[in-house]
């Protein structure tokens, strides 16, 4: 049981927008803006796409955006493309004892 | 080009220990925290722990305390992840990953090693 809850799957047609939620608690997302999102393809290292809840690393498409409200963070992908298929994980800081926790992951399918 | 290069795949018996190394290239090794993250087959990502290569300070996830040790050798620009008392559940790909801000623990993980597959099998 992950400390962060994500939907198991989200799908959309090319060009559509989808949003993936990541629900935590007052012990992690609710207290710290240290929330990141990773795109993961089988057999490959994860790729950072959002950090500090809303920031995008250089080189990451502006079709990816992040937000945070209360104990929930969200990742939105606009203009969905075939290459966006994969697994997406949120990750949050949970304080000095817990440190970092991941969500269970969300499989994104482009229909 | 910044790189983290990990050691090769391992096959271990239950109860054994495994060491995975992570060698840093083209940056100041002691300037950035290193974390270890694993992914079991068909499962999600799991944070294991971090080390501050500057002074050797470490922090481990509760789940791994007592069984996990992360060390570093600054003369070799290498970090090591030692996991003991292996069980079948430890079969996973293990990644080292560098934090992205100078001497800050921020969980900003842009640079990953290629991963090391550890298989626990009898």
Taking contacts as CB-CB distances below 8 angstroms, the residues of chain A near B47 are: 91, 99-102
At A26-49, the pLDDT tens digits run: 999 999 999 999 999 877 899 999
What is the share, in percent, of chain A residues with pLDDT greater than 90?
Answer: 89
Q: What pLDDT is stored for residue A97 in this prediction?
A: 84
Q: Per the CB < 8 Å rule, is B107 touching A57?
A: no
- The confidence band for A56, taking pLDDT boundaries of 50, 70 and 90, is very high
**pLDDT at position A16, please?**
97
| Per-residue pLDDT at B79 exceeds 90 | yes
The tens digit of pLDDT for each residue in A63-81 reads 999 999 999 999 999 999 9
pLDDT of residue A84: 96
Mutate to test the interface with B, among A24, A46, A91 (most CBs of B within 10 A): A46
Tell me: pLDDT of A96 over 90: no
Does A101 contact B45 at a Cβ distance shorter than 8 Å? no
Q: Residue B73: which residues within 8 A CB-CB, separation 6 or more? A: B80
Res. B58: pLDDT tops 90: yes
Q: What is the pLDDT of residue B7?
A: 97
Q: Cα distance from A1 to chain B (closest Cα, Å)? A: 11
Which residues touch B77 (CB under 8 Å, ≥6 apart)? B23, B24, B25, B29
Quickly tell me which residue has 């620009």 as its tokens: B77
Band of the pLDDT at A2, cuts 50, 70, 90? Answer: confident
pLDDT digits 0-9 by tens, B84-122: 999 999 999 999 999 999 999 988 999 999 999 999 999
Closest by CA to B41, choosing from B96, B100, B117, B97, is B117
> What's CA B8's distance to the chain center, in Å?
13
Nearest to A102 among B47, B59, B62 (CB): B47
In angstroms, the CA A37 to CA A15 distance is: 21
What element of type H or E holds A95?
helix A95-98
CB contact under 8 A, A102 and B59: no
| Cα–Cα distance list, A8 to A48, B2, B27 (Å) | 20, 34, 37
Q: Which residues of B touch A104 (CB under 8 A)?
A: 44
Q: What average pLDDT does the segment A90-103 reach?
A: 92
pLDDT band at B1 (very low <50, low <70, confident <90, very high): confident
Q: Which of A14-18, A93-97, B49-53, B62-66 has the lowest mean pLDDT?
A: A93-97
Residue A98 clears pLDDT 90, i.e. is over it: no
Question: Which of A52, A57, A102 faces B46 most closely, judged by CB atoms?
Answer: A102
Pick the residue from chain A with its C-alpha nearest to B108.
A51
pLDDT exceeds cutoff 80 at A1: no
């Amino acid at each position: 049981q992950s400390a962060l809850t994500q939907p198991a799957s989200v799908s959309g047609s090319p060009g559509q927008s989808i949003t993936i939620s990541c629900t935590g608690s007052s012990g992690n997302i609710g207290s710290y803006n240290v929330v990141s999102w990773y795109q993961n393809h089988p057999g490959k290292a994860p790729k950072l796409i959002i950090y500090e809840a809303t920031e995008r690393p250089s080189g990451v498409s502006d079709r990816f955006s992040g937000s945070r409200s209360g104990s929930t963070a969200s990742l939105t992908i606009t203009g969905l493309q075939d290459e966006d298929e994969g697994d997406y994980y949120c990750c949050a800081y949970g304080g000095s004892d817990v440190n970092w926790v991941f969500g269970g992951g969300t499989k994104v399918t482009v229909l | 080009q910044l790189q983290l290069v990990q050691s090769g795949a391992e096959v271990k018996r239950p109860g054994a220990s495994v060491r995975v190394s992570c060698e840093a290239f083209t940056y100041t090794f002691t300037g950035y925290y290193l974390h270890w993250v694993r992914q079991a087959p068909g499962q999600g990502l799991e944070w294991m722990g971090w080390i501050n290569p500057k002074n050797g300070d470490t922090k481990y996830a509760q789940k791994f305390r007592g069984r996990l040790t992360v060390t570093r050798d600054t003369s070799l620009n290498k970090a090591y992840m030692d996991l003991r008392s292996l069980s079948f559940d430890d079969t996973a790909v293990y990644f080292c990953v560098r934090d992205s801000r100078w001497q800050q623990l921020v969980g900003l993980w842009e640079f990953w090693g290629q991963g090391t597959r550890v298989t626990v099998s009898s």
